[in-house]
Structure 1
């Protein structure tokens, strides 16, 4: 996670089904949040992991965040107003299932079937801009983030989430899980938001 281009946090937790972190930083408004979201993969370059009895199971992502000031007032939460751009999509069995609509990289027509053979998979990569984390980076052409429910992400039985539902699911300012358009196949997503 970067604030105005300065790195302020990195997930230090090894793979878990869901983990949570607290990051503290000082900044004056307005400020730009930029985060690199990477879905864990066991089979490097294939976007898969050994799971549910299959050696090549497509994992899933999802990120939720709440930003508060020193007085504990919520400044912003993750939602569809954030920008989210995909830079790595896998596993892809048929490259014709993907498409681009403007700057939106789509893989919703692709299968997420699991397998014990990774030889038939492809991966799509896009070059990451060198200055994507800086506040002056122009993300206006990036698509907005897609929101996902707690049920879609599957966190209602994860203590690292349910222990903090009073923060994430605040009744007046509910934070939404966000990702690109495909929370299963899109494995590297950059998100940005400017707090005014």
Structure 2
């Protein structure tokens, strides 16, 4: 389950995170950093447990419990971590198929993504969408309707949730097609 490629993959993800951060793509940088963290964490944890199925089973159960707690914490803070829930469900799917490595990885992703929601969706750090509404006169009125600027943090949250759902859907399709190919 663990090899040299895991370490180099984690390092590459960290380099990608740095590049994305420097380019100003902070959400992308966050997800690359999460990926790097998970890859390195799994490498360390599994290399220390050896091939003992009992220890690996305990680690998977701990990762599953941690993911559940992180999802619940995210909900308590007012966020609905749909992408984290998708990762959690994929973990359960892999666990049913006795694919320990992928189950462990998905539970780790579920936890980290659930914890990241507060950084992505925090209204204080959320970019504000500003739209100018043009003055429009209606045929029955000589006064313009809707002038000025409106801000829409709700629109940003909707876009984030929709994007997360689409990413989860896309990953589900990819994973499903991989299982059909076997």
Asked if these proteins are the same fold (TM beyond 0.5), I'd say no
Normalising by structure 2, report the TM-score: 0.23
Normalising by structure 1, report the TM-score: 0.22
Higher strand proportion: 1
Of the two structures, which has the highest relative contact order with CA contacts closer than 8 Å and spacing of 6 or more? 1
Higher helix proportion: 2
